[in-house]
Structure 1
Amino acid sequence: MPEFAPLRLSATLLCLTLTACASQSTAPLGDHDRLMALAEQVRRGGDPASAAALYERAVQQGDDSPDLLRALGETRLAAGDAAGAAEAFRDLLRQDDEDPQALLGLGTAELQLGRFDRAVRTLEQAAPALGTAQAYNRLGTAQVLAGRFGDAQAAYGTAIDQAPGDLDIRSNLALALALNDQADEAQRAIAAVARSPLAEPHHLRQQMLVLTLIGDEAGAAQALAGLPEQDRLALLAEARSIRQLDDPAARARAIGLLTGAR
């Protein structure tokens, strides 16, 4: 494992450190338990990069426990460090190569790194072991980006069985159907999402994408009717450029870049 850079405390983290020192003046500065408690406090406070630096210090102190490696991997993912997260999850899998949470984390990191086929293989192990909507949704997303649309539909279907009210998963299924040239099924799936009182603006953008992919440009424009004209025209132009790509897998990857793969 490479040497870690010296720990740089953010202003928020420095305040927390001073507070911890004041309230626990009898604890030594390098106390491992205090370090872990502080890392968790910073993590919950919404500063994953600083929390990851604290977890890294704990690893440097010789702690390679599964809980710490899992927290380090998840925090690095939250901080946008997919490569670092993959390293932490691999270290965890060296201790237990069937750990389902580590497999989910590694598959997610591989997905974010654009290693779609590897992400599929890893998530195919994680999803059945966990049996959660999150895991199957992540698997479906990896399969879409790898161009395996039929497999993705099955994964999204299992995710929906676990979380029938999750509109993000239902939107993902509609996109998989559209990419697989199943226009009628895609239109029905995304219409149900858009009709929901819980639909949010990003669901309507996905409706626009689905309708553009299946050739319903009038419907796609109507889906964005509430946006300023300049924004609406820009999104429609981007969607049309995606539809014109010859390779369905390339379309899927372009959509992932446009919407953010979940």
Structure 2
Amino acid sequence: MPRPSPCLGLLCLCLFGCASKAPLEQDQQRLMTLAAQVQQGGDPVSAAALYERAANASEASPEVLIALGNARLGAGDSQGAAKAFRKALSKRENDPQALLGLGSAELRLGQVQRAERLLAMAAPVLKDRVAYNRLGTAQVLNGQFNQALQSYELAMQKEPGNLDVRSNHALALALAGQGTKASREIASVTASPLAEPHHFKQEMLVLTLAGNDIRACQALADLDDTQRDNLLHQAQAIRAIADPAQKARAIGVLAAGN
């Protein structure tokens, strides 16, 4: 029986290799598309599971890992998100989207100094509202209120109508001792028909820090007496803290609890 030629054997090997690789790449792309649709539909948990399958379908690219990390962030899995973003950075050092994601995960995990360093690397490269807003938040939680003001102002330049950024900017103004400007800023936020409940709680905090307890109480008119009094007492206790870093940490605890 004639033996197959070495060339024919090599050709078969190449063909089988291509045939096995192509379906894997197709499966990965199909899973990525489906995951993006599911995430857009508001189901980050299912999206994360699909992205994870996509990552396992073949060697995970940084893009797949970043998408996985963002889905895990949306699902509330900060530890899992951080793991995915670190893996992406191991494949593509200093990728700005991976730095943004890892900084965001570290921020949620309470590692605010590390989060600020990572976000400070990402924001000047990405130059978008999300990156500057998250950098500002990390700076607030580190007690660096003037730096936070600069970051929020850059975020507002990118998206002037974003109420979350404007609300955060008002808080930074109040913390930096600019109570009058802070009060005007937060009033313009809560006057918007798009204002949400968390904006009114932020208004209460801003007004309390600015020393206007009467208006702060009015900002929580929709809450029952117990909830309102509890939040006001917490905000007044924060106002009494002299150390900027301690004040920032207390604000972080208040925000996490509400």
Q: Which residue of 2 is the match for residue 93 of structure 1?
A: 89
Q: Secondary structure at the match of 2:185?
A: helix
How far off is 1:205 after superposition? Answer: 1.4
Residue 191 of structure 1 aligns with an amino acid whose one-letter code is A
Question: Would the aligned equivalents of 2:28 and 2:55 in 1 still touch at CA under 8 Å?
Answer: no
Q: Secondary structure at the match of 1:164?
A: coil
Q: Which residue of 1 is the match for residue 154 of structure 2?
A: 158
- RMSD of Structure 2 on Structure 1 (CA): 2.4
Question: Take 1:252 and 1:67, find their aligned partners in 2: how far apart are those partners?
Answer: 34
Which of 118, 127, 131 pairs up with 2:127? 131
Residue 167 of structure 1 aligns with an amino acid whose one-letter code is L
Compared with structure 1, are the counterparts of its residues 31 and 126 closer, same or farther at alpha carbon in structure 2 (3 Å cutoff)? closer
Residue 224 in structure 1 maps to residue 220 in structure 2: yes
Residue 80 in structure 1 maps to residue 76 in structure 2: yes
Q: Secondary structure at the match of 1:72?
A: helix
Q: Secondary structure at the match of 1:181?
A: coil
C-alpha distance after superposition, 1:65-112 (max 9, x if no partner): 122111111111111111211111111122222322111111101111
Compared with structure 1, are the counterparts of its residues 44 and 186 closer, same or farther at alpha carbon in structure 2 (3 Å cutoff)? closer
How far off is 1:204 after superposition? Answer: 1.7
C-alpha distance after superposition, 1:92-151 (max 9, x if no partner): 122222322111111101111111111111111111111111111111001101111110
C-alpha distance after superposition, 1:13-67 (max 9, x if no partner): xxxxxxxxxxxxxx99x95455444444443443322332332233334321122
C-alpha distance after superposition, 1:143-189 (max 9, x if no partner): 10111111000000111111111121111111112112222222222
Q: Which residue of 1 is the match for residue 15 of structure 2?
A: none
C-alpha distance after superposition, 1:189-233 (max 9, x if no partner): 222223334333322211110111122111211222233323322
Q: Which residue of 2 is the match for residue 178 of structure 1?
A: 174
Q: Which residue of 2 is the match for residue 148 of structure 1?
A: 144
- Structure 2 segments unaligned to the other structure (5+ residues): 1-22
Per the normalisation by structure 1, the TM-score is 0.80
Residue 111 in structure 1 maps to residue 115 in structure 2: no
- Structure 1 segments unaligned to the other structure (5+ residues): 1-26
Compared with structure 1, are the counterparts of its residues 40 and 243 closer, same or farther at alpha carbon in structure 2 (3 Å cutoff)? same
Compared with structure 1, are the counterparts of its residues 32 and 126 closer, same or farther at alpha carbon in structure 2 (3 Å cutoff)? closer
Question: Take 1:63 and 1:239, find their aligned partners in 2: how far apart are those partners?
Answer: 49
Per the normalisation by structure 2, the TM-score is 0.81
Question: Would the aligned equivalents of 2:136 and 2:148 in 1 still touch at CA under 8 Å?
Answer: yes
Whose radius of gyration is greater, 1 or 2? 2
Question: Take 1:31 and 1:71, find their aligned partners in 2: how far apart are those partners?
Answer: 16
Question: Take 2:28 and 2:101, find their aligned partners in 1: how far apart are those partners?
Answer: 25
Which of 189, 200, 203 pairs up with 2:185? 189
State the identity %: 57
Question: Would the aligned equivalents of 2:44 and 2:74 in 1 still touch at CA under 8 Å?
Answer: yes
Question: Take 1:171 and 1:219, find their aligned partners in 2: how far apart are those partners?
Answer: 16
Q: Secondary structure at the match of 1:198?
A: coil
Question: Would the aligned equivalents of 2:66 and 2:84 in 1 still touch at CA under 8 Å?
Answer: yes
Q: Which residue of 2 is the match for residue 205 of structure 1?
A: 201
Which of 32, 50, 55 pairs up with 1:54? 50
Residue 239 of structure 1 aligns with an amino acid whose one-letter code is A
Q: Which residue of 2 is the match for residue 16 of structure 1?
A: none
Question: Take 1:224 and 1:57, find their aligned partners in 2: how far apart are those partners?
Answer: 45
Residue 161 of structure 2 aligns with an amino acid whose one-letter code is G
Residue 193 of structure 1 aligns with an amino acid whose one-letter code is V
Compared with structure 1, are the counterparts of its residues 34 and 186 closer, same or farther at alpha carbon in structure 2 (3 Å cutoff)? closer
Number of residue pairs aligned between Structure 1 and Structure 2: 234
